Chain A
Amino acid sequence: MNLFRLLGDMTHLLSIVVLLLKIRTVKSCAGISLKTQELYVIVFLTRYLDLFTKYYSVYNTAMKLVFLGTSIGIVWYMRYHKVVKQTYSKDEDTFKHYFLILLSIILALLIHRAFDVIEVLWTFSLYLEAVAILPQLVLLQKSRNIDTLTGDYVFLLGAYRALYILNWVYRFLMENHKFRWIPWISGLVQTALYADFFYYYIKSWKNREKLKLPA
């Protein structure tokens, strides 16, 4: 494991901590897209099927369980917790996320490395993760007030993807990692989707202003 990979995973973990902090202590999920959160549950469920078939390390297994558990927990809070669910910005969370699932299924059936259940589902999870942030970004654009925790959450999620790109560059150069078009291109697309958000996040941070995305 290289430093970029570890930092990427830790940033991912931290993003979830920040979101849980908002949900559990502020008791609010305002500005958080339930659709994006549901897509992440599907991403982790389809990607981590190899929990049952292959062992990599204690770290790998533990992180997979944490991502699965927390993503399901977050969706539970947003849907069923009697206080939290009332703060959900339902009317603004309008992105047609079924379309993203359909698109990823079709793409995974067409473009994959091997045609077996685990490989196609794994590929599907990469395509879906690449676009899963879209409902969240659309919701942010509609939000008049983006609170600090929500902004930080999305920033950390984007930082995690950017660090994974550095991790691939490192593995390619230092560990004889072969070309892996499917995860790399999906990862590049995923990171590129954050470009606009990064720009406004950093700008607001530099000017010490409240984060606001232009509509």
Chain B
Amino acid sequence: KEQPQSHDEL
């Protein structure tokens, strides 16, 4: 669930 925190970066 918390994964996007760095995957949303470029």
Contacts and interface: CB of A to CB of B under 8 A. Distances in A.
Interface residues of A, number: 18
Contacts, number: 24
A12 interface: yes
A64 B5 contact: no
Interface stretch (A132-140, A177-185, A194-202, A206-214): A177-185
Interface in B1-10: 2, 4-10
A5 B9 contact: yes
Given A5-B9, A164-B9, A180-B5, 4 more contacts: A9-B10, A60-B8, A63-B10, A183-B6
B10 to A, nearest CB: 5
Nearest to B10: A63
A97 interface: no
Interface in A53-67: 54, 56, 60, 63-64, 67
Contacts of B2: 178
Q: Which 9 A-B pairs have the closest CB atoms?
A: A180-B6, A56-B8, A183-B6, A63-B10, A177-B5, A9-B10, A178-B2, A60-B8, A178-B5
B3 to A, nearest CB: 8
A122 interface: yes
A207 B7 CA distance: 41
A171 interface: yes
Interface in A29-74: 50, 54, 56, 60, 63-64, 67
B1 to A, nearest CB: 11
B10 A67 contact: yes
Contacts of B8: 56, 60
Contacts of A63: 10
B10 A12 contact: yes
